[in-house]
Chains A and B, each alone.
Chain A
Amino acid sequence: MISAINLSVTYHGKIVLRDATVKAEPGKVLALVGPSGCGKTSFLAALNRMTDLIPGANIRGQITFDGRPIDSVFSNRAELRRHVGMIFQKPNPFALSIRRNIELGLREHGQRNRDELRQITEKVLRDVGLWDEVQNRLDQSALELSGGQQQRLCIARAIALKPQVLLMDEPCSALDPLAAEHVEKLIQSMRGQYTIIIVTHNLAQARRLADNIAVFWTRDSVGEIVEHGPTETLFGASSNEIVKSYLSGRRG
């Protein structure tokens, strides 16, 4: 589905991630784990070129989508980000109504039929389990929702655009344990429909969620992927000493 080949990220010429090569399989969950500051978020941001928004950020290497270079598949950034959605660490709904939050992206991509907008809104809100909680207050500000509800709204807003890939940057870490569990269940239920790449610091969560994991580590203050593969293989019997001690909780 989406793969990175020798992907490097630099900020103002300083390298933070070196030669990352990893492949996300279609419909599966790939978790990126590792200590803070080893380039996981940079890696994620490079995949949908959110790096364009960061002053001084530069990427090298290749990203392919269904085997073809990503720039030849999507004509512009808007198309790319429509198909490769992103969920952020801190829920970031717009300061608009719940309904507008979902409709805005759809309208931008040409969906203007009111009935269809309404149907899609209901469908995605049901998909994220928010419909029953908000169906009577769709026109109220999204900022009045709780943190967990806001994050689920952000996921609904992203999947309304029917992306093939969803990038998630620690989507549960800013939430309380119950809300986090709710969001985790949601991600669990999305398996098979979307290709998901999730950054998490929660190793137990990575083990529960992910089909594959990639372990990031810092060497000479530059991040790199030290090992990647099926979750159980890495958790069970990694040959790499760093990975073994990190995943068993002895290090990191």
Chain B
Amino acid sequence: MSSTQSVKPTRSGQSTHTIRELTAAFSIWLAAGLVMAILAWILIDISIRGLSQINLSFLIDDVTDAGRSGGIGPIILSTILILFVTLSVSVPLSIATAIALTEQLNSESLLARYVRRCLDILAGVPSIVFGLFGNAFFTITLGLGYSILSGGLTLSCMVLPILIRTAEQAINSVPLEHRHAAAALGMSRSTTLFRVILPAAAPALAAGIVLSIGRALAETAALIFTSGYVARTPESLFDSGRSLSVHIYDLAMNVPNGGARAYAAACVLVAMLLVINETTALLLKFAGLGSTPHAGGCR
């Protein structure tokens, strides 16, 4: 058999090849298309059923008739307050922990490894377990009762693992060159950290925060036991408050004929997420920290 014959593709081989290529391409496009279609379906479904009921009074009025009429003013306020508590506890704590893991501790030290292991396990704990823990610890042991504070603190425990791991990655992904440049300019470790490393890590840090806001906003199980069901306007952080997702759950499951209103509330929740996402991107752009080309110019 001559060498020219052995490399010459046969007719059937060629068509198998073509079929395989086409199948691969088709499957990939199908998968990507499916993902987009599901998202679009959910969004369109929610919008069609929900948007028509949304107006200003829906957004600011009190809840009446268990949510079948009136608005969701107190619910939005409670949601924002719970989110506020969650973030003001979890963001400083997680960034500090991430700094400890990356800058202070040797990344291979026993403590660092244990902290990481704990976080990974925590990240996999179902949110209902966080709810039970929050109920036992914050509402009963600490005596905070069913309150926005209890709910917010429970959610911060829940989002801590994801926040710390994303913050750790964000800090680690700042190129070593930045540290060298700072050292060569005679800058101290703290200046380097706060003026060089953290600003450079800001976009990735923000992405982690937005991700955990999403998880916190979506949470119902952990909140039912901690911040409670009360749909009144909260007067302080020690009052019980119903979050949007708890409200949606309640309308859909417990209130006969509440489904339509549940869609409207879901619309508001999705809109909130989009606004938070876009605002973060805009803020970063304003601060001159948007995702830009890396050092080293065009490579």
Contact = CB atoms under 8 A, between A and B. Distances in A.
Q: Do A and B bind each other?
A: yes
Interface of A: 48, 50, 53, 77-82, 85-86, 88, 90-97, 104-105, 108-109, 139-141, 143-150, 154, 157-158, 161, 174-175
B175 interface: yes
Q: Which of A108, A139, A147, A149 has the most CB of B within 10 A?
A: A108
Contact of A77 (B177, B186, B299): B186
A90 B180 CA distance: 11
Contacts of A143: 292-295
A161 B180 contact: no
Contact of B292 (A48, A78, A95, A109): A95
A125 to B, nearest CB: 16
Interface stretch (B72-80, B195-203, B258-266): B195-203
B296 A82 contact: no
B191 interface: yes
Given A90-B295, A95-B295, A148-B297, A154 B188 contact: no
B194 to A, nearest CB: 11
Contact of A104 (B180, B183, B185, B292): B185
Interface string B160-189: 000000000000001101111111111110
B193 to A, nearest CB: 12
Contacts of B293: 143-144
A158 B184 contact: yes
B242 to A, nearest CB: 42
B187 A104 contact: yes
State the majority secondary structure of interface residues on B. Answer: loop
Contact of B178 (A94, A148, A161): A94
Contacts of B289: 95, 141
B182 to A, nearest CB: 8
Contacts of B288: 96-97, 139-141
B196 A104 contact: yes
Contacts of A109: 186
A88 B188 contact: no
Contact of A161 (B181, B185, B191, B294): B185
Q: Which of B179, B188, B200, B297 has the most CB of A within 10 A?
A: B297
Given A78-B188, A104-B195, 9 more contacts: A90-B295, A92-B178, A93-B295, A94-B182, A104-B187, A108-B187, A158-B185, A161-B185, A161-B186
Nearest to A49: B183
B180 A50 contact: yes
B298 interface: yes
Q: Which of B175, B177, B199, B289 has the most CB of A within 10 A?
A: B177
B56 to A, nearest CB: 39
A78 B178 contact: no
A85 B195 CA distance: 20
B297 A50 contact: no
Contacts of A95: 174, 178, 199-200, 289, 292, 295
Contacts of B180: 50, 53, 88, 92
A88 B295 CA distance: 12
Cβ-closest 5 pairs across A and B? A147-B297, A78-B186, A92-B177, A105-B185, A95-B200
Contacts of A174: 296
A103 to B, nearest CB: 10
B187 A105 contact: yes
A53 B179 contact: yes
Contact of B296 (A79, A105, A150): A150
A77 to B, nearest CB: 7
A81 B185 CA distance: 6
Nearest to B200: A95
Nearest to A94: B196
Contacts of A108: 185-188, 191
25 contacts: A50-B183, A50-B184, A53-B183, A77-B183, A81-B186, A88-B177, A90-B177, A91-B295, A92-B178, A92-B296, A95-B199, A95-B289, A97-B288, A104-B185, A104-B191, A104-B195, A108-B187, A139-B288, A143-B294, A144-B292, A146-B297, A147-B296, A148-B297, A158-B185, A174-B296
Contacts of A50: 180, 183-184
A154 B299 CA distance: 18
A123 B100 CA distance: 39
A85 B187 CA distance: 12
B185 A150 contact: no
Q: Which of B183, B185, B294 has the most CB of A within 10 A?
A: B185
Nearest to A85: B184
A91 B178 contact: no
Contacts of B179: 53
Contact of A150 (B182, B200, B292, B297): B297
